[in-house]
Amino acid sequence: MIFMGMANLLRIVCCFCLFVGQTQGATYSAVITELKTGNVLAQSDAQTPVYPASLTKLMTLYILFQSLEQGHIRMDTVFKVSAFAARQPPSKWGLKPGSRISVRQCILALSVKSCNDVAHVVSENLYQSTGLFVKTMNATALKLGMLKTVFHNPSGWHHRFQKTTAHDMAILMRAICMNFPQYSGFLGIPSIQKGNGVVRNTNKLLGRVPGLYLGKTGYTCPSGYNLVTVTSRNNQPIISVVMGMPSKIQRDQLMASLIETCYKDPSRLHLAIAKPMTTLSKTPHLILAQLSKPIGTKQVRNNKTGNKKRKSKRLAAVSLAKIQGKSPRKYRVKSIKKTVKPIVISQKIRPQQSKKQKTLQARKTKKRSMIRASNAIPRHAKRRGPLRKAQKRQSLIKRRQAKQSPSGI
């Protein structure tokens, strides 16, 4: 077991060392199609072969839905976990060899968390071996018209010959929605419960972009960040595919902007889908899509003075006005000073005291306060007051005694 664990760790480290830094060189491609007809509305290198990453699990789910539809399995059918499936690299559900998992749990784990170990459990239990399952995946892809797609594993773990295109992924998502509408809703579940915890969907756009109700994410180092979504507004559903993005934030921002442009200004969709990735974070429509950080007050430290200043909501509006080309004068507001309450880091918890202990403690505190008050000299008594007069009298008495005392002693 120790040897297998070390081999698995070595496998992950080697993959990281080989492909670190290649995310920036991932091939960008995107496409938007109509769900009902399959017509392409806009595309950018949609026929270029790329690595699918975890979008491969869409085909794994398609074959699983097909088996459910044909009656070979049911939702309560139990799959057995092999040692090979249990030692798959993350993302994973954490299954142990010899344990069992139901079909419904497999669908939830694949749709929400995109677990590699669950994908291999499905392949081994449906076709007795991963090789036969992969052959079925490729045959199904040809039937659906995914002519430039080749699969080599059911999880999407990186393989140099495993390729697909953005157009083929749009075809696959459309086939899931059209052929299995009763099961496609699993791809829109925001979170599931695992033990005492909650596992949230890897697609963070669910609930943030209006009308977006289905989606699947994917990521490996050479593939980049990928996302396939289905959005419906005004009874016009569309499928959006974005692949090869260098970060999650840019991927989500681009997807949200493409959906907004498609419904609000379709004539500029071709420009939006081919826009350079360096300018994505500066476009104002991302703020309209409610994907940027909420505008509010935050503390900023000045390097010269070291004091803390506060940026108001109006200052955030000034930056937005500069992007849109408006004059920011009307947004200027006088700064308002706010008092910041100190934060209590820790507090000592004392044991419960009796009445005698409380009275003794109160007497001690009274004595201490009286002693401090007698020793302390108030500020107003420095110039005038009874204490100052008493000090003067004592000094005069000392002088008289010094004069009256005989000299030379």
Q: Residue 129 falls within a domain, yes or no?
A: yes
Taking only the tens of pLDDT, the chain with its 409 residues reads 444 455 455 455 444 444 444 444 589 999 999 999 999 999 999 999 999 999 999 999 999 999 999 999 999 999 999 999 999 999 999 999 999 999 999 999 999 999 999 999 999 999 989 999 999 999 999 999 999 999 999 999 999 999 999 999 999 999 999 999 999 999 999 999 998 899 999 999 999 999 999 999 999 999 999 999 999 999 999 999 999 999 999 999 999 999 999 999 999 999 999 865 544 444 444 444 445 443 333 444 444 444 444 444 444 444 444 444 444 444 444 443 444 444 333 333 345 566 777 788 888 888 787 777 766 655 555 455 666 777 777 888 888 888 776 654 3
Asked if 228 contacts 251 with a C-beta cutoff of 8 angstroms, the reply is no
User: Do residues 55 and 107 both lie within one domain?
Assistant: yes
Report d(CA 137, CA 141) in Å as an integer.
Answer: 6
User: Do residues 219 and 81 both lie within one domain?
Assistant: yes
User: Do residues 131 and 202 both lie within one domain?
Assistant: yes
Q: What angle do CA 220, 191, 106 make, to 5 degrees?
A: 70
Q: What is the pLDDT of residue 276?
A: 59
Q: Residue 398 falls within a domain, yes or no?
A: no
Q: What total of structural domains would you count in the chain?
A: 2
Q: Residue 377 falls within a domain, yes or no?
A: no
Q: Residue 114 falls within a domain, yes or no?
A: yes
- CB within 8 Å of 387: residues ≥ 6 apart: 377, 378, 381
Report d(CA 158, CA 263) in Å as an integer.
Answer: 35
Positive or negative, the CA dihedral 173, 177, 179, 185 is: positive
User: Do residues 177 and 225 both lie within one domain?
Assistant: yes
Residues 90, 109, 213, 141, Cα dihedral to 10°: 80
Quote the tokens at residue 337.
């000073």
Which CATH number do you get for residue 167?
A: 3.40.710.10
Residue 95 structural domain: 18-288
Q: What is the pLDDT of residue 387?
A: 67
User: Do residues 23 and 105 both lie within one domain?
Assistant: yes
b/e for 129-144, b at 16 or more Cβ within 10 A? ebeebbebbeebbeeb
Q: Residue 349 falls within a domain, yes or no?
A: no
Q: Residue 365 falls within a domain, yes or no?
A: no
Asked if 230 contacts 214 with a C-beta cutoff of 8 angstroms, the reply is yes
Among 288, 314, 345, which residue terminates a domain?
Answer: 288
Among 226, 260, 288, which residue terminates a domain?
Answer: 288
Q: What is the pLDDT of residue 376?
A: 60
- Which residue type sits at 257? S
3-state SS track over the chain: CHHHHHHHHHHHHHHHHHHCCCHHHCCCEEEEEECCCCCEEEEECCCCCECCHHHHHHHHHHHHHHHHHHCCCCCCCEEECCHHHHCCCCCCCCCCCCCEEEHHHHHHHHHHHCCHHHHHHHHHHHHCCHHHHHHHHHHHHHHHCCCCCECCCCCCCCCCCCEECHHHHHHHHHHHHHHCCCCHHHHHCCEEEECCEEEECCCCCCCCCCCEEEEEEEEECCCEEEEEEEEEECCEEEEEEEEEECCHHHHHHHHHHHHHHHHHCHHHHHHHHCCCHHHHHHCCHHHHCCCCCCCCCEEEECCCCCCEEEECHHHHHHHHHHHHCCCHHHHCCCCCCCCCCCCCCCCCCCCCCCHHHHHHHHHHHHHHHHHHHHHCCCHHHCCCCHHHHHHHHHHHHHHHHHHHCCCCC
Q: Residue 394 falls within a domain, yes or no?
A: no
Alpha carbon distances (Å) from 258 to 16, 117, 233, 284: 31, 33, 14, 13
User: Do residues 47 and 92 both lie within one domain?
Assistant: yes
Among 278, 306, 328, which residue terminates a domain?
Answer: 328
User: Do residues 321 and 237 both lie within one domain?
Assistant: no
User: Do residues 153 and 27 both lie within one domain?
Assistant: yes
Bridge-based pairing of strands 191-194 and 29-34 is unpaired
Q: What angle do CA 197, 199, 203 make, to 5 degrees?
A: 160
User: Do residues 230 and 171 both lie within one domain?
Assistant: yes
Q: Residue 269 falls within a domain, yes or no?
A: yes
Task: Give the CA count within 13 Å in the CB-facing half-sphere of 111.
Answer: 27
User: Do residues 259 and 169 both lie within one domain?
Assistant: yes
User: Do residues 255 and 303 both lie within one domain?
Assistant: no
Q: Which residue shows structure tokens 């459910």?
A: 68
User: Do residues 274 and 321 both lie within one domain?
Assistant: no
